[in-house]
Structure 1
Amino acid sequence: MTSAARTTPADAGSRVIMEIDGAVAYVTLNRPDKLNGIDLDTIDELIAAATTLQQNTEIRAVVLQGKGRSFCAGLDFASAFQDKKRVARYFFAGPRTVNRFQRVNQVWRELPVPVIAVVQGHCYGAGLQLASCADFRFTTRDATWSILEAKWGLVPDMAGTVPFSELLPADVLMRLAMTGEQISGERAAELGLATEASPDPLAAALELVEQIAQRSPDSVAATKRLVYGTRRGGLRATYRLERRLQSAMFKARNTAIARKAGTAKQTPVFGPRTFG
Protein backbone atom coordinates (compact mmCIF):
# COMPACT_ATOMS: atom_id res chain seq x y z
CA MET A 1 0.00 0.00 0.00
CA THR A 2 1.11 3.53 -0.63
CA SER A 3 1.34 5.82 2.35
CA ALA A 4 -0.13 9.26 2.71
CA ALA A 5 -0.64 11.80 5.43
CA ARG A 6 -3.57 11.08 7.66
CA THR A 7 -6.49 13.38 7.00
CA THR A 8 -8.64 14.38 9.96
CA PRO A 9 -12.13 15.91 9.85
CA ALA A 10 -12.48 19.53 10.89
CA ASP A 11 -14.97 18.73 13.61
CA ALA A 12 -13.07 16.50 16.02
CA GLY A 13 -16.08 16.75 18.36
CA SER A 14 -18.19 14.61 16.04
CA ARG A 15 -19.72 11.41 17.32
CA VAL A 16 -17.94 9.61 14.49
CA ILE A 17 -14.45 10.56 13.34
CA MET A 18 -13.33 9.44 9.90
CA GLU A 19 -9.64 9.56 9.01
CA ILE A 20 -7.83 8.25 5.94
CA ASP A 21 -4.25 7.12 6.33
CA GLY A 22 -2.83 5.96 3.02
CA ALA A 23 -5.16 3.27 1.73
CA VAL A 24 -6.90 2.62 5.07
CA ALA A 25 -9.96 4.51 6.33
CA TYR A 26 -10.42 4.63 10.10
CA VAL A 27 -13.98 5.16 11.32
CA THR A 28 -13.95 5.79 15.07
CA LEU A 29 -16.89 6.01 17.46
CA ASN A 30 -16.15 9.14 19.48
CA ARG A 31 -18.25 9.08 22.65
CA PRO A 32 -15.73 7.58 25.09
CA ASP A 33 -17.50 9.11 28.10
CA LYS A 34 -20.60 7.09 27.12
CA LEU A 35 -18.59 3.96 26.26
CA ASN A 36 -19.37 4.88 22.64
CA GLY A 37 -23.07 4.23 23.11
CA ILE A 38 -25.01 4.77 19.89
CA ASP A 39 -27.64 7.50 19.74
CA LEU A 40 -29.58 8.80 16.73
CA ASP A 41 -26.91 11.31 15.73
CA THR A 42 -24.30 8.55 15.82
CA ILE A 43 -26.48 6.52 13.46
CA ASP A 44 -26.64 9.46 11.03
CA GLU A 45 -22.89 10.04 11.18
CA LEU A 46 -22.03 6.37 10.67
CA ILE A 47 -24.26 6.17 7.61
CA ALA A 48 -22.76 9.40 6.25
CA ALA A 49 -19.22 8.05 6.74
CA ALA A 50 -20.03 4.83 4.90
CA THR A 51 -21.73 6.75 2.09
CA THR A 52 -18.61 8.90 1.65
CA LEU A 53 -16.33 5.86 1.62
CA GLN A 54 -18.52 4.14 -0.96
CA GLN A 55 -17.31 6.70 -3.52
CA ASN A 56 -13.61 6.46 -2.66
CA THR A 57 -11.89 4.10 -5.10
CA GLU A 58 -8.44 4.57 -3.55
CA ILE A 59 -9.00 3.02 -0.14
CA ARG A 60 -8.33 -0.69 0.34
CA ALA A 61 -9.90 -1.29 3.76
CA VAL A 62 -11.96 0.27 6.55
CA VAL A 63 -11.18 -0.12 10.25
CA LEU A 64 -14.15 0.35 12.60
CA GLN A 65 -13.10 1.14 16.16
CA GLY A 66 -14.14 2.88 19.35
CA LYS A 67 -12.25 5.64 21.14
CA GLY A 68 -11.30 5.01 24.75
CA ARG A 69 -11.71 1.83 26.74
CA SER A 70 -14.68 0.34 24.87
CA PHE A 71 -15.67 -0.45 21.32
CA CYS A 72 -19.37 0.17 21.93
CA ALA A 73 -21.60 -0.59 24.91
CA GLY A 74 -24.78 -0.63 22.80
CA LEU A 75 -27.66 1.70 22.11
CA ASP A 76 -27.77 4.80 24.33
CA PHE A 77 -31.49 4.54 25.19
CA ALA A 78 -31.54 7.62 27.42
CA SER A 79 -30.24 9.85 24.67
CA ALA A 80 -31.90 8.20 21.68
CA PHE A 81 -35.40 8.14 23.15
CA GLN A 82 -35.48 11.81 24.06
CA ASP A 83 -37.02 12.34 20.62
CA LYS A 84 -39.60 9.58 20.29
CA LYS A 85 -40.97 10.90 17.00
CA ARG A 86 -37.52 10.70 15.46
CA VAL A 87 -37.11 7.17 16.83
CA ALA A 88 -40.39 6.21 15.18
CA ARG A 89 -39.24 7.67 11.84
CA TYR A 90 -36.00 5.71 12.07
CA PHE A 91 -37.74 2.48 13.06
CA PHE A 92 -40.66 2.24 10.65
CA ALA A 93 -39.91 1.46 7.02
CA GLY A 94 -41.77 0.18 4.01
CA PRO A 95 -42.16 -3.57 3.51
CA ARG A 96 -39.39 -3.65 0.90
CA THR A 97 -36.73 -1.61 2.60
CA VAL A 98 -34.65 -1.55 5.75
CA ASN A 99 -35.18 0.96 8.51
CA ARG A 100 -32.49 3.37 9.62
CA PHE A 101 -31.52 1.28 12.66
CA GLN A 102 -30.81 -1.59 10.29
CA ARG A 103 -29.21 0.56 7.63
CA VAL A 104 -26.48 1.82 9.97
CA ASN A 105 -25.05 -1.70 10.13
CA GLN A 106 -26.04 -3.17 6.75
CA VAL A 107 -24.22 -0.35 4.95
CA TRP A 108 -20.81 -1.74 5.97
CA ARG A 109 -21.57 -5.03 4.24
CA GLU A 110 -22.30 -3.10 1.06
CA LEU A 111 -18.96 -1.30 0.91
CA PRO A 112 -16.75 -2.75 -1.86
CA VAL A 113 -13.75 -3.05 0.48
CA PRO A 114 -13.11 -5.23 3.54
CA VAL A 115 -14.38 -3.71 6.79
CA ILE A 116 -12.61 -4.79 9.97
CA ALA A 117 -13.95 -4.13 13.47
CA VAL A 118 -11.32 -3.71 16.19
CA VAL A 119 -12.88 -4.49 19.56
CA GLN A 120 -11.80 -3.74 23.12
CA GLY A 121 -13.73 -3.34 26.36
CA HIS A 122 -17.49 -3.61 25.82
CA CYS A 123 -19.12 -4.99 22.67
CA TYR A 124 -22.79 -5.07 23.63
CA GLY A 125 -26.11 -4.98 21.81
CA ALA A 126 -25.98 -2.44 18.99
CA GLY A 127 -22.21 -2.46 19.25
CA LEU A 128 -22.07 -6.20 18.66
CA GLN A 129 -24.46 -5.85 15.75
CA LEU A 130 -22.21 -3.17 14.25
CA ALA A 131 -19.16 -5.40 14.70
CA SER A 132 -20.96 -8.41 13.26
CA CYS A 133 -21.78 -6.49 10.08
CA ALA A 134 -18.08 -5.87 9.52
CA ASP A 135 -16.37 -8.51 7.40
CA PHE A 136 -13.80 -9.34 10.10
CA ARG A 137 -13.69 -8.83 13.86
CA PHE A 138 -10.42 -8.67 15.81
CA THR A 139 -10.77 -8.43 19.58
CA THR A 140 -8.75 -8.32 22.75
CA ARG A 141 -9.04 -11.56 24.69
CA ASP A 142 -10.57 -9.83 27.73
CA ALA A 143 -13.18 -7.79 25.85
CA THR A 144 -16.79 -8.52 26.86
CA TRP A 145 -19.31 -9.46 24.18
CA SER A 146 -23.06 -9.79 24.65
CA ILE A 147 -26.25 -9.90 22.60
CA LEU A 148 -27.73 -7.73 25.29
CA GLU A 149 -31.30 -7.29 24.00
CA ALA A 150 -32.53 -10.17 26.17
CA LYS A 151 -31.84 -8.04 29.25
CA TRP A 152 -34.48 -5.55 28.05
CA GLY A 153 -37.00 -8.14 26.86
CA LEU A 154 -36.13 -7.59 23.20
CA VAL A 155 -34.87 -9.65 20.28
CA PRO A 156 -31.63 -9.00 18.36
CA ASP A 157 -32.16 -6.36 15.69
CA MET A 158 -30.33 -3.59 13.81
CA ALA A 159 -29.50 -6.09 11.01
CA GLY A 160 -27.50 -8.28 13.40
CA THR A 161 -29.65 -11.37 12.93
CA VAL A 162 -28.29 -12.00 9.42
CA PRO A 163 -24.56 -12.15 10.30
CA PHE A 164 -25.32 -13.84 13.64
CA SER A 165 -27.05 -16.70 11.81
CA GLU A 166 -24.15 -16.94 9.37
CA LEU A 167 -21.47 -17.01 12.05
CA LEU A 168 -23.09 -19.20 14.72
CA PRO A 169 -24.93 -22.54 14.92
CA ALA A 170 -28.61 -22.09 15.77
CA ASP A 171 -28.31 -23.46 19.31
CA VAL A 172 -25.34 -21.24 20.15
CA LEU A 173 -27.08 -18.17 18.74
CA MET A 174 -30.28 -18.90 20.64
CA ARG A 175 -28.40 -19.41 23.90
CA LEU A 176 -26.60 -16.06 23.55
CA ALA A 177 -29.71 -14.22 22.33
CA MET A 178 -32.10 -15.72 24.87
CA THR A 179 -29.87 -15.18 27.90
CA GLY A 180 -27.81 -12.07 27.09
CA GLU A 181 -24.86 -14.06 28.45
CA GLN A 182 -21.58 -12.15 28.52
CA ILE A 183 -18.62 -13.89 26.93
CA SER A 184 -14.97 -12.90 26.58
CA GLY A 185 -13.33 -11.93 23.32
CA GLU A 186 -11.39 -15.15 23.51
CA ARG A 187 -14.61 -17.14 23.79
CA ALA A 188 -16.18 -15.13 20.96
CA ALA A 189 -13.29 -16.19 18.73
CA GLU A 190 -13.66 -19.83 19.79
CA LEU A 191 -17.34 -19.71 18.82
CA GLY A 192 -16.62 -18.03 15.48
CA LEU A 193 -18.35 -14.78 16.42
CA ALA A 194 -14.99 -12.99 16.37
CA THR A 195 -12.41 -13.63 13.69
CA GLU A 196 -9.43 -13.61 16.04
CA ALA A 197 -8.53 -12.73 19.63
CA SER A 198 -5.22 -10.92 19.94
CA PRO A 199 -3.21 -8.89 22.48
CA ASP A 200 -3.12 -6.15 19.82
CA PRO A 201 -6.22 -6.44 17.62
CA LEU A 202 -5.44 -3.32 15.60
CA ALA A 203 -2.02 -4.68 14.63
CA ALA A 204 -3.61 -8.00 13.69
CA ALA A 205 -6.22 -6.20 11.61
CA LEU A 206 -3.61 -4.17 9.76
CA GLU A 207 -1.59 -7.30 9.08
CA LEU A 208 -4.64 -8.72 7.32
CA VAL A 209 -5.08 -5.45 5.41
CA GLU A 210 -1.50 -5.75 4.16
CA GLN A 211 -2.20 -9.25 2.87
CA ILE A 212 -5.42 -8.23 1.13
CA ALA A 213 -3.79 -5.14 -0.38
CA GLN A 214 -1.46 -7.40 -2.36
CA ARG A 215 -4.46 -8.52 -4.42
CA SER A 216 -6.50 -6.70 -7.03
CA PRO A 217 -8.96 -4.26 -5.42
CA ASP A 218 -11.51 -5.30 -8.03
CA SER A 219 -11.31 -9.02 -7.24
CA VAL A 220 -11.48 -8.21 -3.51
CA ALA A 221 -14.67 -6.17 -4.05
CA ALA A 222 -16.17 -8.86 -6.27
CA THR A 223 -15.28 -11.59 -3.77
CA LYS A 224 -17.08 -9.74 -0.99
CA ARG A 225 -20.17 -9.36 -3.16
CA LEU A 226 -19.99 -13.02 -4.20
CA VAL A 227 -19.76 -14.32 -0.63
CA TYR A 228 -22.64 -12.23 0.71
CA GLY A 229 -24.68 -12.58 -2.46
CA THR A 230 -24.69 -16.37 -2.33
CA ARG A 231 -25.19 -17.06 1.36
CA ARG A 232 -28.92 -17.67 1.00
CA GLY A 233 -29.49 -18.00 -2.72
CA GLY A 234 -30.44 -21.12 -4.65
CA LEU A 235 -27.94 -22.89 -6.89
CA ARG A 236 -29.04 -21.20 -10.10
CA ALA A 237 -28.91 -17.71 -8.58
CA THR A 238 -25.55 -18.50 -6.98
CA TYR A 239 -23.97 -19.72 -10.18
CA ARG A 240 -25.46 -16.84 -12.16
CA LEU A 241 -23.92 -14.30 -9.79
CA GLU A 242 -20.61 -16.18 -9.88
CA ARG A 243 -20.55 -16.02 -13.70
CA ARG A 244 -21.49 -12.36 -13.78
CA LEU A 245 -18.79 -11.34 -11.33
CA GLN A 246 -16.12 -13.45 -13.01
CA SER A 247 -17.02 -11.90 -16.36
CA ALA A 248 -16.50 -8.45 -14.83
CA MET A 249 -13.11 -9.56 -13.48
CA PHE A 250 -11.98 -10.78 -16.91
CA LYS A 251 -12.51 -7.24 -18.20
CA ALA A 252 -11.00 -5.35 -15.23
CA ARG A 253 -7.73 -3.50 -15.74
CA ASN A 254 -6.41 -4.64 -12.36
CA THR A 255 -6.90 -8.25 -13.42
CA ALA A 256 -4.52 -7.69 -16.33
CA ILE A 257 -2.04 -6.12 -13.92
CA ALA A 258 -2.27 -9.12 -11.60
CA ARG A 259 -1.88 -11.60 -14.46
CA LYS A 260 1.13 -9.79 -15.94
CA ALA A 261 2.88 -9.48 -12.55
CA GLY A 262 2.15 -13.11 -11.69
CA THR A 263 3.60 -14.33 -14.97
CA ALA A 264 6.72 -12.20 -14.48
CA LYS A 265 6.92 -13.16 -10.79
CA GLN A 266 6.82 -9.49 -9.83
CA THR A 267 4.87 -7.57 -7.19
CA PRO A 268 1.79 -6.05 -8.83
CA VAL A 269 1.14 -2.33 -8.61
CA PHE A 270 -2.61 -1.91 -8.85
CA GLY A 271 -4.59 1.10 -9.98
CA PRO A 272 -7.73 2.43 -8.30
CA ARG A 273 -10.64 0.08 -7.81
CA THR A 274 -12.95 0.04 -10.84
CA PHE A 275 -15.53 -2.47 -9.55
CA GLY A 276 -18.26 -1.81 -7.02
Structure 2
Amino acid sequence: MTASRVLVEIDGPIAHVTLNRPDKLNGIDLETIDELIAAAESLRADHDVRAVLLRGAGRSFSAGLDFGAAFAEKSRVKKFFFAGPRRLNRFQYVNQVWRELPVPVIAVVQGHCYGAGLQLAACADFRFTTPDATWAILEAKWGLVPDMAGTLPFSELLPADVLMRLAMTGESFTGTRAAELGLATEAADDPLAAALALVEQIVGRSPDSVAATKQLVYGTRRGSERQAWRLERKLQSAMFKARNTSIARKAGAAKQKPEFGPRTHGS
Protein backbone atom coordinates (compact mmCIF):
# COMPACT_ATOMS: atom_id res chain seq x y z
CA MET A 1 0.00 0.00 0.00
CA THR A 2 1.39 3.40 -1.00
CA ALA A 3 2.02 5.76 1.91
CA SER A 4 0.23 9.08 1.94
CA ARG A 5 2.31 11.82 0.38
CA VAL A 6 0.74 14.42 2.67
CA LEU A 7 0.06 13.78 6.34
CA VAL A 8 -2.47 15.84 8.30
CA GLU A 9 -2.55 15.80 12.08
CA ILE A 10 -4.82 18.01 14.18
CA ASP A 11 -3.41 18.94 17.58
CA GLY A 12 -5.97 21.11 19.34
CA PRO A 13 -6.26 24.32 17.33
CA ILE A 14 -3.18 23.56 15.20
CA ALA A 15 -3.11 21.53 11.99
CA HIS A 16 0.24 19.96 11.09
CA VAL A 17 0.48 19.31 7.34
CA THR A 18 3.60 17.36 6.37
CA LEU A 19 5.00 16.55 2.94
CA ASN A 20 5.83 12.86 3.25
CA ARG A 21 8.31 11.81 0.57
CA PRO A 22 11.52 12.11 2.60
CA ASP A 23 13.36 9.63 0.37
CA LYS A 24 12.73 12.03 -2.55
CA LEU A 25 13.49 15.17 -0.50
CA ASN A 26 9.72 15.75 -0.60
CA GLY A 27 9.75 16.26 -4.34
CA ILE A 28 6.28 17.19 -5.55
CA ASP A 29 4.54 14.89 -8.02
CA LEU A 30 0.94 14.86 -9.24
CA GLU A 31 -0.28 12.73 -6.34
CA THR A 32 1.30 15.16 -3.88
CA ILE A 33 -0.53 18.01 -5.60
CA ASP A 34 -3.85 16.17 -5.29
CA GLU A 35 -3.23 15.39 -1.61
CA LEU A 36 -2.12 18.93 -0.76
CA ILE A 37 -5.27 20.37 -2.32
CA ALA A 38 -7.46 17.83 -0.51
CA ALA A 39 -5.75 18.67 2.79
CA ALA A 40 -6.26 22.41 2.35
CA GLU A 41 -9.90 22.04 1.36
CA SER A 42 -10.54 19.78 4.36
CA LEU A 43 -8.94 22.31 6.72
CA ARG A 44 -10.98 25.14 5.24
CA ALA A 45 -14.11 23.35 6.42
CA ASP A 46 -12.78 22.80 9.96
CA HIS A 47 -13.72 25.93 11.88
CA ASP A 48 -11.92 24.77 15.02
CA VAL A 49 -8.51 24.91 13.34
CA ARG A 50 -6.77 28.18 14.19
CA ALA A 51 -3.42 27.82 12.39
CA VAL A 52 -1.64 25.49 9.97
CA LEU A 53 2.01 24.41 10.16
CA LEU A 54 3.31 23.30 6.76
CA ARG A 55 6.40 21.10 6.99
CA GLY A 56 8.54 18.54 5.19
CA ALA A 57 9.39 15.12 6.62
CA GLY A 58 13.05 14.22 6.91
CA ARG A 59 15.92 16.55 6.12
CA SER A 60 14.26 18.84 3.56
CA PHE A 61 11.18 20.97 3.17
CA SER A 62 10.92 20.26 -0.55
CA ALA A 63 13.44 19.99 -3.39
CA GLY A 64 10.76 21.10 -5.85
CA LEU A 65 8.82 19.42 -8.61
CA ASP A 66 9.72 15.77 -9.18
CA PHE A 67 9.89 16.02 -12.98
CA GLY A 68 10.54 12.32 -13.54
CA ALA A 69 7.48 11.22 -11.59
CA ALA A 70 5.20 14.13 -12.49
CA PHE A 71 5.78 13.98 -16.25
CA ALA A 72 5.51 10.22 -16.52
CA GLU A 73 1.78 10.78 -17.16
CA LYS A 74 1.84 13.40 -19.93
CA SER A 75 -1.89 13.37 -20.55
CA ARG A 76 -2.55 13.99 -16.87
CA VAL A 77 0.02 16.80 -16.81
CA LYS A 78 -1.86 18.49 -19.65
CA LYS A 79 -5.08 18.31 -17.63
CA PHE A 80 -3.33 19.80 -14.60
CA PHE A 81 -1.89 22.61 -16.72
CA PHE A 82 -5.07 23.55 -18.59
CA ALA A 83 -7.27 26.31 -17.18
CA GLY A 84 -9.69 28.83 -18.58
CA PRO A 85 -8.51 32.45 -18.96
CA ARG A 86 -9.86 33.44 -15.52
CA ARG A 87 -9.06 30.31 -13.57
CA LEU A 88 -6.07 28.82 -11.81
CA ASN A 89 -4.76 25.57 -13.17
CA ARG A 90 -4.04 22.74 -10.76
CA PHE A 91 -0.31 23.50 -10.56
CA GLN A 92 -1.20 27.02 -9.42
CA TYR A 93 -4.12 26.15 -7.18
CA VAL A 94 -2.06 23.72 -5.06
CA ASN A 95 -0.14 26.72 -3.70
CA GLN A 96 -2.69 29.53 -3.95
CA VAL A 97 -5.17 27.50 -1.90
CA TRP A 98 -3.03 28.08 1.22
CA ARG A 99 -3.23 31.86 0.76
CA GLU A 100 -7.00 31.52 0.51
CA LEU A 101 -7.43 29.57 3.76
CA PRO A 102 -9.09 31.76 6.43
CA VAL A 103 -6.39 30.84 8.98
CA PRO A 104 -2.67 31.68 9.07
CA VAL A 105 -0.38 29.17 7.37
CA ILE A 106 3.22 28.94 8.59
CA ALA A 107 5.88 27.11 6.57
CA VAL A 108 8.73 25.53 8.57
CA VAL A 109 11.74 25.14 6.29
CA GLN A 110 14.89 23.05 6.60
CA GLY A 111 17.26 21.53 4.08
CA HIS A 112 16.17 22.19 0.50
CA CYS A 113 13.51 24.75 -0.45
CA TYR A 114 13.64 24.75 -4.25
CA GLY A 115 11.37 25.60 -7.16
CA ALA A 116 7.85 24.34 -6.56
CA GLY A 117 8.72 23.86 -2.88
CA LEU A 118 9.76 27.49 -2.59
CA GLN A 119 6.57 28.61 -4.33
CA LEU A 120 4.59 26.54 -1.82
CA ALA A 121 6.47 28.16 1.07
CA ALA A 122 5.96 31.61 -0.45
CA CYS A 123 2.20 31.03 -0.55
CA ALA A 124 2.22 30.42 3.20
CA ASP A 125 1.63 33.54 5.29
CA PHE A 126 4.85 33.14 7.31
CA ARG A 127 8.11 31.25 6.66
CA PHE A 128 10.48 30.18 9.44
CA THR A 129 13.73 28.62 8.25
CA THR A 130 16.96 27.19 9.57
CA PRO A 131 19.88 29.53 8.82
CA ASP A 132 21.64 26.86 6.73
CA ALA A 133 18.64 25.83 4.62
CA THR A 134 19.20 26.19 0.87
CA TRP A 135 16.65 28.22 -1.08
CA ALA A 136 16.42 28.69 -4.85
CA ILE A 137 13.87 29.84 -7.43
CA LEU A 138 15.16 26.99 -9.52
CA GLU A 139 12.97 27.10 -12.65
CA ALA A 140 15.66 28.96 -14.64
CA LYS A 141 17.83 25.83 -14.46
CA TRP A 142 15.30 24.09 -16.69
CA GLY A 143 14.66 27.07 -18.97
CA LEU A 144 11.33 27.77 -17.28
CA VAL A 145 9.64 30.49 -15.25
CA PRO A 146 7.91 30.18 -11.86
CA ASP A 147 4.39 29.10 -12.77
CA MET A 148 2.88 27.61 -9.60
CA ALA A 149 1.33 30.83 -8.22
CA GLY A 150 4.62 31.86 -6.58
CA THR A 151 5.09 34.98 -8.69
CA LEU A 152 2.47 36.95 -6.80
CA PRO A 153 3.91 36.46 -3.28
CA PHE A 154 7.45 36.80 -4.68
CA SER A 155 6.48 40.22 -6.06
CA GLU A 156 4.96 41.23 -2.72
CA LEU A 157 7.99 40.14 -0.71
CA LEU A 158 10.91 41.14 -2.94
CA PRO A 159 12.00 44.23 -4.91
CA ALA A 160 11.73 43.70 -8.67
CA ASP A 161 15.48 43.65 -9.30
CA VAL A 162 16.10 41.10 -6.52
CA LEU A 163 13.28 38.88 -7.75
CA MET A 164 14.49 39.03 -11.36
CA ARG A 165 18.03 38.18 -10.32
CA LEU A 166 16.94 35.14 -8.32
CA ALA A 167 14.42 33.98 -10.95
CA MET A 168 16.70 34.59 -13.96
CA THR A 169 19.76 32.90 -12.48
CA GLY A 170 18.29 30.19 -10.25
CA GLU A 171 21.12 30.92 -7.82
CA SER A 172 20.87 29.37 -4.36
CA PHE A 173 20.94 31.28 -1.09
CA THR A 174 20.79 30.40 2.59
CA GLY A 175 17.89 30.67 5.01
CA THR A 176 19.74 33.53 6.67
CA ARG A 177 19.88 35.37 3.34
CA ALA A 178 16.21 34.60 2.68
CA ALA A 179 15.35 36.33 5.96
CA GLU A 180 17.59 39.29 5.11
CA LEU A 181 15.82 39.67 1.78
CA GLY A 182 12.39 39.45 3.42
CA LEU A 183 11.48 36.20 1.66
CA ALA A 184 11.62 34.33 4.97
CA THR A 185 9.93 35.71 8.06
CA GLU A 186 12.73 34.61 10.38
CA ALA A 187 15.82 32.39 10.44
CA ALA A 188 16.11 30.35 13.64
CA ASP A 189 18.07 27.31 14.77
CA ASP A 190 14.74 25.75 15.75
CA PRO A 191 12.23 27.12 13.22
CA LEU A 192 9.42 24.90 14.52
CA ALA A 193 9.75 26.40 18.01
CA ALA A 194 9.77 29.90 16.53
CA ALA A 195 6.67 29.08 14.48
CA LEU A 196 4.86 27.65 17.50
CA ALA A 197 5.67 30.78 19.50
CA LEU A 198 3.92 32.85 16.83
CA VAL A 199 0.99 30.42 16.77
CA GLU A 200 0.61 30.78 20.53
CA GLN A 201 0.20 34.52 20.10
CA ILE A 202 -2.24 34.17 17.22
CA VAL A 203 -4.54 31.66 18.94
CA GLY A 204 -4.90 34.12 21.80
CA ARG A 205 -6.86 36.40 19.47
CA SER A 206 -10.33 36.07 17.99
CA PRO A 207 -10.26 33.55 15.12
CA ASP A 208 -12.67 35.80 13.23
CA SER A 209 -10.41 38.83 13.61
CA VAL A 210 -7.42 36.76 12.47
CA ALA A 211 -9.30 35.48 9.41
CA ALA A 212 -10.54 38.96 8.53
CA THR A 213 -7.05 40.43 8.94
CA LYS A 214 -5.60 37.91 6.48
CA GLN A 215 -8.37 38.74 4.02
CA LEU A 216 -7.80 42.46 4.52
CA VAL A 217 -4.02 42.35 4.00
CA TYR A 218 -4.19 40.29 0.80
CA GLY A 219 -7.31 42.07 -0.41
CA THR A 220 -5.68 45.50 -0.28
CA ARG A 221 -2.33 44.58 -1.87
CA ARG A 222 -3.60 45.70 -5.26
CA GLY A 223 -6.44 47.90 -6.39
CA SER A 224 -7.52 51.42 -5.62
CA GLU A 225 -7.62 53.26 -2.32
CA ARG A 226 -11.42 53.29 -2.54
CA GLN A 227 -11.48 49.51 -2.85
CA ALA A 228 -9.21 49.20 0.20
CA TRP A 229 -11.38 51.53 2.28
CA ARG A 230 -14.51 49.64 1.19
CA LEU A 231 -12.99 46.31 2.22
CA GLU A 232 -11.94 47.75 5.59
CA ARG A 233 -15.50 48.88 6.29
CA LYS A 234 -17.00 45.61 5.11
CA LEU A 235 -14.75 43.48 7.30
CA GLN A 236 -15.05 45.72 10.34
CA SER A 237 -18.83 45.61 10.05
CA ALA A 238 -18.62 41.81 10.07
CA MET A 239 -16.37 41.91 13.13
CA PHE A 240 -18.83 44.12 15.05
CA LYS A 241 -21.44 41.38 14.58
CA ALA A 242 -19.19 38.39 15.35
CA ARG A 243 -19.75 36.52 18.60
CA ASN A 244 -16.00 36.13 19.14
CA THR A 245 -15.62 39.92 19.09
CA SER A 246 -18.02 40.17 22.02
CA ILE A 247 -16.03 37.48 23.83
CA ALA A 248 -12.78 39.42 23.25
CA ARG A 249 -14.29 42.69 24.52
CA LYS A 250 -15.76 41.15 27.67
CA ALA A 251 -12.54 39.28 28.48
CA GLY A 252 -10.49 42.43 27.91
CA ALA A 253 -12.70 44.50 30.17
CA ALA A 254 -12.52 41.83 32.90
CA LYS A 255 -8.76 41.34 32.38
CA GLN A 256 -9.36 37.64 31.76
CA LYS A 257 -8.15 35.22 29.10
CA PRO A 258 -10.82 34.92 26.39
CA GLU A 259 -12.33 31.54 25.57
CA PHE A 260 -13.24 31.82 21.90
CA GLY A 261 -15.72 29.72 20.01
CA PRO A 262 -15.19 28.26 16.51
CA ARG A 263 -14.30 30.60 13.67
CA THR A 264 -17.39 32.07 11.97
CA HIS A 265 -15.67 34.33 9.40
CA GLY A 266 -14.51 32.85 6.11
CA SER A 267 -15.87 29.83 4.32
TM-score by length of 1: 0.95
In the other structure, the counterpart of 2:83 is 93
Confirm or deny that 1:68 pairs with 2:40. no
Out of 179, 192, 195, the residue aligned to residue 205 of structure 1 is 195
Confirm or deny that 1:216 pairs with 2:203. no
Cα distance in 1 for partners of 2:193, 2:74 equals 41
Give the secondary-structure state (helix, strand or coil) at the position aligned to 1:64.
strand
- Between 1:191-200 and 1:232-241, the stretch displaced more is 232-241
Confirm or deny that 1:124 pairs with 2:118. no
Cα distance in 2 for partners of 1:254, 1:13 equals 39
Give the secondary-structure state (helix, strand or coil) at the position aligned to 2:10.
strand
- Following superposition, the deviation at residue 12 of structure 1 comes to 8.5
Give the secondary-structure state (helix, strand or coil) at the position aligned to 2:162.
helix
- Following superposition, the deviation at residue 230 of structure 1 comes to 0.7
Out of 43, 56, 61, the residue aligned to residue 33 of structure 2 is 43
Out of 232, 235, 251, the residue aligned to residue 241 of structure 2 is 251
In the other structure, the counterpart of 1:110 is 100
Deviation string, structure 1 residues 41-63 (Cα, Å, up to 9, x no partner):
00000000000000001011000
Cα distance in 2 for partners of 1:59, 1:249 equals 19
Percent of residue pairs identical: 79
Cα distance in 2 for partners of 1:267, 1:210 equals 13
Runs of 4+ in 1 over 4 A off after TM superposition: none
Amino acid at match of 1:227: V
In the other structure, the counterpart of 2:128 is 138
- Between 1:128-137 and 1:237-246, the stretch displaced more is 237-246
- Following superposition, the deviation at residue 36 of structure 1 comes to 0.2
Deviation string, structure 1 residues 83-128 (Cα, Å, up to 9, x no partner):
0010000001000100000000000001110000000000000000
Q: Which sections of structure 2, spanning at least 5 residues, go unmatched? A: none
Q: Which sections of structure 1, spanning at least 5 residues, go unmatched? A: 1-10
- Between 1:261-270 and 1:87-96, the stretch displaced more is 261-270
Confirm or deny that 1:147 pairs with 2:143. no
In the other structure, the counterpart of 1:176 is 166
In the other structure, the counterpart of 1:77 is 67
Give the secondary-structure state (helix, strand or coil) at the position aligned to 2:106.
strand
Q: CA RMSD in A?
A: 0.9
Amino acid at match of 1:22: G
In the other structure, the counterpart of 1:188 is 178
Amino acid at match of 2:204: Q
Confirm or deny that 1:59 pairs with 2:49. yes
In the other structure, the counterpart of 2:12 is 22
Out of 152, 156, 174, the residue aligned to residue 166 of structure 1 is 156
Cα distance in 1 for partners of 2:185, 2:160 equals 18
Give the secondary-structure state (helix, strand or coil) at the position aligned to 1:214.
coil
Cα distance in 2 for partners of 1:239, 1:100 equals 32
Out of 18, 23, 32, the residue aligned to residue 33 of structure 1 is 23
Cα distance in 2 for partners of 1:174, 1:157 equals 14
Amino acid at match of 2:103: V
Confirm or deny that 1:270 pairs with 2:264. no
TM-score by length of 2: 0.99
Deviation string, structure 1 residues 27-74 (Cα, Å, up to 9, x no partner):
000000000000000000000000000000101100000000000000
Cα distance in 2 for partners of 1:156, 1:12 equals 30
- Following superposition, the deviation at residue 266 of structure 1 comes to 1.2
